Amino acid sequence: MQPRIFHLHTLSALHCGVGQAADVVDLPIARARASGLPIVPGSSLRGVLRAQMESDPQREGDVPVLFGPREIGGQADAFAGALAVGDAHLLLLPVRALAGIICYATSPFILHRYRQDLVRAGYATPALPEQPGSGQACVGHDSANRQDGLLILEDLDLQAREDGAVREWATLIGQAVHASDADAQSDLVARVALLPDDIMGYLAETATEIRSRIAINPATGTVKRGALWYEENLPAESVLWGVQALSASNQGGNDRDAVSLSSGLPGEELLQLGGKAGVGRGLVRLLRSGVSA
């Protein structure tokens, strides 16, 4: 297997849902069961990638070997696809800030898991930052969100402490997400903050985007009775990461190896993920270019 890190950068609000819920939010987003942090299921991403390749005449020939057969007529037609796609996990959450408008929040738990996946994929990484203390946040020396020694996010006041390792990690992420845009890299680096895990967990629950929706009665032009519901979205400018892996072809008569198969996968793709495409949700950049450190 050839493991490889990928990143997702949301260009619009993203709703990868789990169906209807009996709660204040009628249509919540998918979350990891143990941590409660938002995810994009690998099955959703894999299905969109398959549809994208099938619509491209130059790439559709690789669809069966990468994703498996569309239909299985017998034992000879049954084989596993060579491409495995894992869930995408939250890396940076854009949060409203008093200074700088937006702060990209992460936490020690998230960075630790991210570093583990990078190491497994063969990347060199910086040392992890020190844990922020209670009521603290760690930022780079050039933070755009610090004001009078404070980092004010939503209704939280945190003491801002400089940590060079946070800036190193922000630089690494910025290079992966905005590989060819130095200005966008600098902007991201200046807005990253490392928050305590408990505060990050709280923001991951409360700082997502909730939108109300209604349905119109076409006969009267007014709202249908009872047709009001609330949808949860991951905000635009969120960054997620995941792991995909390639094996050699499992298709009979096709002996392509993982290296040759990977050459057919572009470094960046524009995708529409999740639901609500008709109202502009789910536009993301898929980045396979990896990271450097």
Per-residue pLDDT at 213: 84
Per-residue pLDDT, 76: 62
- Residue 290 confidence (pLDDT): 61
Q: Domains in the chain: how many in total?
A: 1
150-153 and 146-147 as β-strands: parallel, antiparallel, unpaired?
A: antiparallel
Cβ contacts of 220 within 8 Å, gap of 6 or more: none
Q: At what angle do helices 108-120 and 197-206 cross, to 10 degrees?
A: 100
24 lies in a domain? no
- Residue 215 domain-assigned (yes or no): no
Assigned domain for 22 exists = no
Q: Contact at 8 Å (CB) between 5 and 118?
A: yes
Would you state the pLDDT for residue 222? 78
Q: Which long-range contacts (CB under 8 A, 24 or more apart) does 44-52 make?
A: 44/16, 44/273, 44/274, 45/8, 45/85, 45/88, 45/242, 45/271, 45/273, 45/286, 46/83, 46/85, 48/271, 48/272, 48/273, 49/83, 49/85, 49/269, 49/271, 49/286, 52/269, 52/271
Regions of the chain with pLDDT less than 70? 19-23, 73-76, 290-293
23 belongs to a structural domain: no
Q: Looking at the domain assignment, is residue 225 inside a domain?
A: no
User: Does the residue 256 lie in any domain?
Assistant: yes
Tell me if 262 is assigned to some domain: yes
For residue 55, what are the domain limits?
2-16+30-207+234-287
Q: Per 3-state DSSP, what percentage of the chain is helix, strand, and coil (rounded to 5)?
A: 25, 30, 40
Report if residue 203 sits inside a domain.
Answer: yes
Segment (H or E) for 66 = helix 63-67
pLDDT of residue 19: 65
Q: Which stretches of 154-194 are DSSP H helices?
A: 164-177, 182-191
pLDDT at position 142: 93
Predicted pLDDT of residue 57: 86
